[in-house]
Structure 1
Amino acid sequence: MAQSQGALLLKRQLNDLQKKPVEGFSAGLVDDENLFVWEIIVIGPVDTVYEGGFFKAHLSFPQEYPQRPPKLKFISEMWHPNVGKDGLVCISILHEPGEDKFGYERAEERWLPIHTVESIMRSVISMLCDPNAGSPANVDAAKQYRENFPAFKKEVTRLVRLTQEAL
C-alpha cells in the first residue's frame, strides 16, 4: 500500500530531526508502526520559569496532514496561560487554516501546510518564553501570571521538579 503524502512528509521530518536534532526538544514516535503520533520532550527554555524541566507531550497528526494541523497535548502536568487544563496547546499555528471567525487571528497566523514539526516546536518554545495571557486557554493560569507572578512561578517550579523526578 502506498504511503500518504502526510506519512511521507512525517517520515522525512522524523529522519531529519534524528540526523540533526534541534535545540529545545526531542522527538520520536509513540509507536514505531504509527507515523501520526509523536512523543515530544520539550526542554524548559533557559531564563524562563520552565528552565530545567523536561515536559512530555504528544503531537497527533490528522490523516489530512499537512492540509490540517496537528494537536499538541502535554502529558506532563503543565501550568501555562496557553495550555488548557487538559494539556492541549492553544497557539495560532495549530488552529485550523483560514479566517478566524472571532477576528482575533489573521489567516496567515494560523495553520499553513508549510509548517513542520520543527516550526511547530519552535512556536511552542516561544510560547513558553512569552505567554499570551491576553488570549488564554487556561484562564486561571493567565490570571495568576498577570496578578500574582510569584505564585505562578512557584507552581511552575513545582512542575519542573516533578518532570525532573520522572526521568
Structure 2
Amino acid sequence: MEARYNLKSPAVKRLMKEAAELKDATDHYHAQPLEDNLFEWHFTVRGPPDSDFDGGVYHGRIVLPPEYPMKPPSIILLTANGRFEVGKKICLSISGHHPETWQPSWSIRTALLAIIGFMPTKGEGAIGSLDYTPEERKALAKKSQEYFCDACASTMKTALLPLSSESSQDDTEARELARQISFTVNPPGISQAEGSGTIPKPPETEQNTDAVLQAEIHDREAPSGEEEEQPAPTPNVSRSPRQRRAQQRRNPASPGLIPVQQHTGDASNTGSTLLIVLLTLALAVLIFRRIYLANDYIFDYEL
C-alpha cells in the first residue's frame, strides 16, 4: 500500500502512524484502513457498559479527507444500534458535519472513544441520530454480534479482545471525552440539537439595530448610482461673465439665486455691448473726419 501513496504527504504520514498504533485490537475498539484505500477505515467498537448498548459490538466506516488531520473524517455506522442511523454520516463535533469544532490533535482513536461515549446520550434530532426505546436497543445489541462485514471480512464475535479488568480505563476515558466534546459543542443554555457543533451568533444590541436601520434608511433615500448633491459654491464677483456662465452650467444654483445671477449677467452683457457700440461710432467719426480733411486739403492744393 505504501507504494501507492506519496509518503511525503502529511495526511499519508499521519494515517500510516495511526494505522501502526491501532494495529492490535483492544477489548473496546479496533480500526484499520482497507487494503486498497488508506483513506477509508473500518472500525469496531464495543457498546458502553451499564447502558442499553451493553454487550453490543458495532461496526462502521471512517472516510478521511485528503486534508486530514486539518479536516475531520466522516463516520458511518454499518451495524443497527438504535442510536445512529445505518449507512448515514452521523453528526458529531468530531465528524465532517462540523469542521469548525474539529481539532487536528484529535485522531481516529479519539473518534472511536467519542462514538462509545456518545452512544448513551440523547440524539435530540441531530443528523443521523435515533432515539429507539431501551428494549429495542438491547435487542439490537444482542443481534449485533452476528454482523459480518464483506468489505473487510470482519466478524464481530472475534473483532475485539474479551473484556478484562483493565477495561474500565477506556470506559472512563470515553465518557470524559464525550463530556468534553459536548461542553465544547454546546454552550450553557444551548441544547445539542440547537448547538450540535455550531457556534451561535451573539444577539444584536440596540445600538447595532439602530445602525442597521439608519443604513437602510440612507440607502432608500439615496438611490444607488447617484451621488449626493453638493452645495453650490458662493459666486465669485471677480469672475468674468463667461466664467460665471460656465460655473452655473456645472453647479446649478438654488432657485432663489438664479434671478440675481441672471440679472447680474444681463447687466454686464448690456454695458459691454453699449460700450463697444460707442467706441465703434467714435472710431468711425474720427476716420470719416480724417478722410474729409484729407480730401479738402487736396482740393485746395490743386486750385
TM-score, reference length from structure 2:
0.43
Determine the structure 1 residue equivalent to 2:138: 157
- Aligned pairs (5 A) from 1:49-88: 49-80=52-83, 83-84=84-85, 86-88=87-89
State the secondary structure of the residue aligned to 2:45: strand
* Cα distance change on mapping 1:90 and 1:23 into 2, 3 Å: farther
Q: Deviations over 1:68-95 (max 9, x none)?
A: 1101100112311xx2464422111224
Q: Deviations over 1:40-82 (max 9, x none)?
A: 01111111111111111001101111111101100112311xx
Q: Tell whether 2:17 aligns with 1:27.
A: no
Matched residue pairs, number? Answer: 142
How far, CA to CA, are the matches of 1:85 and 1:28 in structure 2? 20
Higher helix share: 2
TM-score, reference length from structure 1:
0.74
How far, CA to CA, are the matches of 2:82 and 2:6 in structure 1? 41
> Structure 1: where are the runs of 5+ without partners?
99-109, 145-151
Q: Tell whether 2:106 aligns with 1:118.
A: no
- Whether the 8 Å CA contact 1:84–1:90 is kept in 2: the answer is no
- Whether the 8 Å CA contact 1:71–1:88 is kept in 2: the answer is yes
Q: Quote the RMSD (CA, aligned, Å).
A: 2.1
* Cα distance change on mapping 1:138 and 1:36 into 2, 3 Å: closer
* Cα distance change on mapping 1:77 and 1:47 into 2, 3 Å: same
- Whether the 8 Å CA contact 2:45–2:58 is kept in 1: the answer is yes
Question: What is the one-letter code of the residue matched to 2:141?
Answer: V
Distance apart, 1:153 and its partner CA = 1.0
Higher RCO, 1 vs 2 (CA within 8 Å, ≥6 residues apart):
1
State the secondary structure of the residue aligned to 2:62: strand
> Structure 2: where are the runs of 5+ without partners?
148-155, 157-303
State the secondary structure of the residue aligned to 1:93: coil
Query: Out of 1, 5, 13, which is 2:10 matched to?
Result: 5
Q: Report runs of 4+ in structure 1 exceeding 4 Å deviation.
A: none
How far, CA to CA, are the matches of 2:58 and 2:122 in structure 1? 19
State the secondary structure of the residue aligned to 2:67: coil
- Whether the 8 Å CA contact 1:71–1:89 is kept in 2: the answer is yes
Determine the structure 2 residue equivalent to 1:106: none
Q: Deviations over 1:98-138 (max 9, x none)?
A: 3xxxxxxxxxxx11111101111111111013x13335335
Determine the structure 1 residue equivalent to 2:40: 37
Larger Rg: 2
Determine the structure 1 residue equivalent to 2:232: none
